[in-house]
């Protein structure tokens, strides 16, 4: 595909992840201003505000695009709000990209921010037998159950061990140590992971990510605009894949209690489909990737993602991990930001945080966690109800 | 907790999702008459989800009672409501199974009967469907190692 399909990333900004207990708008404004300053773009030049919705912060959260356009000062920009669970940020980015490529705007702000409640995410109250989310909680199946089933399956199929899962945590903790936006900046030893309580066998508490407050923002533009302001060499978004699953589902996906029946149509992996579309859009292959940011909701899930991204053959992710190839300095560093292990999940901001990290990596501005000579980065994430995304950034 | 009780007073937590046969219960799904795709829970939209099928007629079908253990886990902590709650101290971790049904070509989740922990499970082993009671006395389907004494 020709480079005219690319857009430029001029600025990236975040509000640090944590459990700050403040209004999500505050975090978003901090991230947006950081991205604008990073881009060197005046707010009045932004013609489109593409917000990722948060469903836990009332009406303002459901109209996030407008909420941030107002908070930054109404200046007549057009707005949009996207909700796609964990992929909300990517869907907001896709909306901005479409607007720019259609020639309807030159510069856009893409933004996601969240304030999360304390404790585990719980289902809505009330009896709802037609809601799969209600049914699965009714019989005792929580979110970690799904990650645990995938993890145990890896152990049975590929010989992955608890030590491998702990090694993912140790690696990501080491990566995130120097990341000023990470919530958890603490080194972990494998035996500390092993000593943490079992939540959903085989996963321990330290194998599973927390939920966080946080915000991330990007300033993106047409290549022509980037050239005009002297930023022709800015990193580019080369692909945004937000494909749905294809019937029939190969894996039991949260919140379902069963897969589709594969009697009439072949079972297909949703996770693997997301990057496949991204590679196709970008005209880039997995062999070109220098760095990946993947959704490590659990330690074991990072290994699944590596295979879905085709960074190695199915079943071989733990081999790369053991050889140190996924550490910074290895052949294909995974989650140099520290990943969800160090951030905790702030749903509408998380997919954008992944792109922020790749932007800094491709500019060579990632400091102690810099991946040498990073040229192509890819993200991957998946959320509820057939939402997921994979974004490719290149320079 | 008696995990296979289906006494005359015992009610299922959902009507029509499984039979109440104490010994040989079955999950109840439905099947697209046109393409054969089986749905569990039953498809209610009236339109087959197979993108290449226009089927609009479905018939109830009981699912296979046994299958291979695809993967397993447990709930080490008491799940939040609507899971029927007991006192924190009274909660006993329970195993959870994902079982692959060969004929239906699908994987179905469920709790494992009381008294069978993850240390007794192995991917690939044959599991069969049983009934078990939730903390509020309502019956649900549960998986058990095939041939195990309940």
Please indicate, yes or no, if residue B53 is contained in any of the structural domains. Answer: no
Whether A252 has its CB under 8 Å from any CB of chain B: the answer is yes
- Using CB atoms within 10 A of its CB, is residue B87 exposed (0-12), middle (13-18) or buried (19+)? exposed
pLDDT of the residue at A241? 98
- Residue B148, min C-alpha distance to chain A (Å): 22
pLDDT of the residue at B1? 42
Whether A257 has its CB under 8 Å from any CB of chain B: the answer is yes
pLDDT of the residue at B8? 52
B75–A130: do the CB atoms touch at under 8 Å?
Answer: no
Per-residue pLDDT of chain A (395 residues; tens, 9 = 90+): 445 799 999 999 999 999 999 999 999 999 999 999 999 999 999 999 999 999 989 999 999 999 999 999 999 999 999 999 999 999 999 999 999 999 999 999 999 999 987 766 677 788 898 899 999 999 999 999 999 999 999 999 999 999 999 999 999 999 999 999 999 999 999 999 999 999 999 999 999 999 999 999 999 999 999 999 999 999 999 999 999 999 999 999 999 999 999 999 999 999 999 999 999 999 999 999 999 999 999 999 999 999 999 999 999 999 999 999 999 999 999 999 999 999 999 999 999 999 999 999 999 999 999 999 999 999 999 988 899 999 999 99
Please indicate, yes or no, if residue B36 is contained in any of the structural domains. Answer: no
A252–B98: do the CB atoms touch at under 8 Å?
Answer: yes
Instruction: Give the domain ranges of chain A.
Output: 1-395
Asked if ipTM goes beyond 0.90, one says yes
Please indicate, yes or no, if residue B21 is contained in any of the structural domains. Answer: no
Tokens 């604008």: give the residue: A36
- pLDDT, tens digit (0-9, with 9 covering 90-100), for A362-388: 999 999 999 999 999 999 999 888 999
Contacts of A295 (CB under 8 A, 6+ apart): A86, A301, A305, A340, A350, A380, A381, A382
Please indicate, yes or no, if residue B55 is contained in any of the structural domains. Answer: no
**Residue among B41, B52, B111 minimizing CB distance to A140:** B111
pLDDT of the residue at A94? 98
B123–A140: do the CB atoms touch at under 8 Å?
Answer: no
pLDDT of the residue at B3? 44
- Residue B94, min C-alpha distance to chain A (Å): 9
pLDDT of the residue at B2? 44
- Number of domains chain B contains: 1
Cα torsion A31, A37, A42, A45 to 10°: value is -60
* Residue of A261, A267, A269, A300 to mutate for B, most B C-beta atoms under 10 A: A261
Whether A244 has its CB under 8 Å from any CB of chain B: the answer is no
- Closest-CA residue of chain B to A144: B75
| Segment 103-142 of chain A within 8 Å of chain B by CB | 120, 122-123, 125, 127, 129-130, 132, 134-142
Q: Which residues of chain A does B85 touch, with a Cβ-Cβ cutoff of 8 Å?
A: none
pLDDT of the residue at A1? 43
Range of the domain at B88: 1-12+64-145
What is the rounded distance in angstroms from the CA atom of residue A318 to the CA atom of residue A310? Answer: 14
Please indicate, yes or no, if residue B27 is contained in any of the structural domains. Answer: no
User: How do beta strands A107-114 and A48-52 pair?
Assistant: parallel
Write out the two tokens for A227.
């050239």
List, as one string, the DSSP characters of A325-380.
Answer: TTSTTSSS-B-TT-HHHHH-B-HHHHHHHHHHHHHHHHHT--GGGPPTT--EEEEE
Q: 1.10.510.10, 3.40.50.300, 3.30.70.100, 3.40.47.10: which CATH number matches A1-395?
A: 3.40.47.10
- pLDDT, tens digit (0-9, with 9 covering 90-100), for B12-62: 999 999 999 999 999 999 999 999 999 999 999 999 999 999 999 999 999
State what percent of residues in chain B have pLDDT above 70: 93
């Amino acid at each position: 595909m020709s480079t005219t399909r690319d857009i430029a990333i001029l600025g990236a900004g975040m509000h640090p992840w944590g459990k700050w207990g403040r209004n999500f708008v505050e975090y978003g404004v901090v991230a947006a201003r950081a991205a604008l300053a990073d881009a060197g773009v005046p707010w009045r030049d932004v013609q489109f505000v593409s917000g990722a919705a948060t469903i836990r912060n009332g009406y303002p959260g459901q109209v996030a695009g407008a909420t941030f356009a107002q908070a930054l000062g109404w200046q007549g920009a057009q707005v949009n709000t996207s909700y796609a669970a964990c992929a909300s940020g990517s869907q907001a980015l896709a909306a901005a990209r479409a607007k720019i490529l259609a020639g309807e705007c030159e510069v856009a702000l893409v933004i996601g921010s969240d304030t999360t409640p304390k404790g585990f995410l719980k289902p809505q109250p009330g009896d709802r037998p037609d809601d799969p989310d209600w049914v699965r909680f009714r019989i005792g199946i929580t979110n970690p159950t799904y990650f645990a089933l995938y993890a145990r399956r890896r152990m049975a199929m590929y010989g992955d061990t608890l030590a491998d899962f702990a090694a993912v945590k140790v690696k990501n903790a080491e990566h995130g140590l120097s990341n000023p936006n990470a919530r958890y900046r603490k080194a972990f030893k494998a035996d500390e992971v092993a000593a943490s309580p079992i939540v959903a066998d085989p996963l321990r508490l330290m194998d599973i990510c927390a939920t966080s407050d946080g915000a991330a923002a990007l300033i993106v533009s047409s290549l022509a605009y980037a050239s005009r302001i002297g930023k022709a060499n800015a990193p580019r978004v080369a692909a945004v894949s937000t494909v749905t699953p294809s019937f029939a589902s190969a894996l039991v996906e949260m919140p379902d209690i069963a897969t589709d029946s594969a009697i009439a149509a072949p079972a297909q992996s949703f996770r693997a489909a997301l990057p496949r579309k991204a590679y196709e859009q970008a005209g880039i292959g997995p062999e070109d990737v220098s760095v990946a940011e993947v959704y490590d909701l659990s330690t074991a899930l990072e290994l699944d993602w590596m295979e879905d991204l085709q960074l190695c053959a199915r079943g071989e992710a733990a081999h790369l991990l053991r050889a140190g190839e996924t550490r910074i300095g290895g052949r294909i560093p995974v989650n140099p930001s520290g990943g969800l292990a160090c951030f905790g999940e702030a749903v509408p901001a998380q997919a954008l945080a992944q792109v922020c990290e790749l932007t800094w990596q491709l500019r060579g501005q990632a400091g102690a966690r810099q991946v040498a000579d990073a040229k192509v980065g890819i993200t991957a994430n998946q959320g509820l109800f057939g939402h997921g995304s994979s974004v490719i950034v290149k320079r | 907790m008696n995990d296979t009780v289906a006494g005359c007073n015992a009610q299922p937590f959902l009507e029509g999702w499984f039979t109440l046969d104490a010994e040989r219960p079955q999950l109840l799904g439905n099947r697209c008459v046109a393409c054969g795709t089986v749905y569990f829970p039953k498809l209610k939209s009236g339109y087959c989800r197979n993108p290449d099928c226009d089927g609009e007629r479905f018939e109830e079908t009981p699912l296979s009672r046994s299958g291979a253990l695809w993967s397993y886990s447990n709930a080490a902590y008491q799940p939040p409501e609507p899971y029927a709650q007991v006192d924190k101290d009274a909660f006993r971790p329970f195993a959870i199974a994902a079982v692959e049904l060969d004929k239906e070509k699908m994987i179905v989740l469920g709790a494992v009967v009381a008294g069978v922990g993850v240390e007794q499970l192995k991917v690939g082993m044959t599991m069969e469907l049983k009934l078990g009671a939730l903390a509020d006395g309502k019956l649900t389907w549960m998986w058990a190692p095939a041939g195990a004494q309940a």
